[in-house]
Amino acid sequence: MRKLFIIIFCAFAALATTACSPRDFLTRRLAGDLIAGSEAFRTPQQFGLRIGILSNKSYLSPEYLVLQHRGWISATNATCPAELAPAPCWDVSLTPSGVDTVKPLIPSDDSAKSFFEIPVARREVTSIIGISKQGNFADVDFSWKWVPLNEVGAALYSGDLHYTSTVSFRNYDDGWRIAPGPIHTGQSMDDALKNAEPAP
């Protein structure tokens, strides 16, 4: 009798697993996993650091002010090239502390360049706020934050500040996926991240 029960149970379990997949139901956990695994979400934030002659506007940008405050860059007045006018312009260089901080973050063959792309932070989903479904479409509201990858990232991105975004999902034949483009009033993942709002 026990063998018969085991056989019937196994047959039923096999049928149940082929009848539906975990992606058939858009739960908060599935939405969070799909958002966190999407290419746009996983792409690290890059910071473009330029040294050499900069316009006053660039030198006084919030990012460069942080680098100045940390003592990683210094500058002297410089003559503005035509494309950077009006004056003043600045000749920006890394300080010894800046070299120690930045050099490990760039490829060795880039050390002679005047522009560096530095990966500084990655995104992390903090919660799924809500899911609004309409048939085979859904909008998912979620919150996320930046996680610094290094000392430069920690200076530029606060891990305490949270953002909210909304992204569109679509139910395909193999289950729910993030929609490749905007659907109805929703947004693609790229647009959702660009249009993120600071969370209250």
How does pLDDT run across 147-164, given as a tens digit for each residue? 999 999 999 998 899 999
Residue 18 is predicted with a pLDDT of 45
Residue 79: both structure tokens together: 């003559």
Enter the pTM of the model.
Answer: 0.76
Rounded mean pLDDT of the chain? 87
Per-residue pLDDT tens for 123-141?
A: 999 999 999 999 999 999 9
**How long, in residues, is the chain?**
200
**Do the beta carbons of residue 88 and residue 80 sit within 8 Å?**
yes
pLDDT of 6 higher than 60: no
Q: In angstroms, rounded to a whole number, what is the distance separating the alpha carbons of residues 200 and 197?
A: 9
Helix (H) or strand (E) holding 74: strand 73-78
**3-class SS string, 148-189:** ECCHHHHHHCCCCCEEEEEEEEEEECCEEEECCCCCCCCCCH
**Do the beta carbons of residue 191 and residue 41 sit within 8 Å?**
no
